[in-house]
Amino acid sequence: MVEQRICSFCGEQIEPGTGRMYVKKDGTVFLFCTNKCYKNMVGLKRVPRNITWTKAYAVKKSTSLAAKEKAEQKERTEQ
C-alpha cells in the first residue's frame, strides 16, 4: 500500500510518483504537489493561510466567519 502524502503548502493530496520534496538544512521536510506550490513557499516565501486557493486559507476564513456569527448572535441575545 502506498503512503498518502499531503502538500505542505496547499494541503492537497499528492499522487504517488509525483511532486517535489524539499529538505531544509535543519532537516525539515516539505512536500509539494506542483511547482506552483514550491515557488510560492520556497521562492516567494509566502504564508499558505494568506493565499486564497489553499486549504489553510479556507480554514482561516471559516473560523473567522464562525467567530463573527457567534459575536452577532451574542449581541442579539443581549438586546
pTM: 0.75
Confidence of residue 13 (pLDDT cuts 50, 70, 90): very high
Enter the C-alpha cell of residue 14: 499528492
The number of CA neighbours under 13 Å toward the Cβ of 72 is 6
Cell reading at 17: 510518483
Q: Which three cell numbers stand for residue 37?
A: 506550490
* Residue 5 confidence class, pLDDT cut points 50, 70, 90: very high
In degrees and rounded to multiples of 5, residue 27 shows phi and psi of 95, 0
pLDDT at 79: 67
Question: Domain 5-78 adopts which CATH fold?
Answer: Ribosomal Protein L24e; Chain: T; (2.30.170)
The grid coordinates of residue 44 equal 516567494
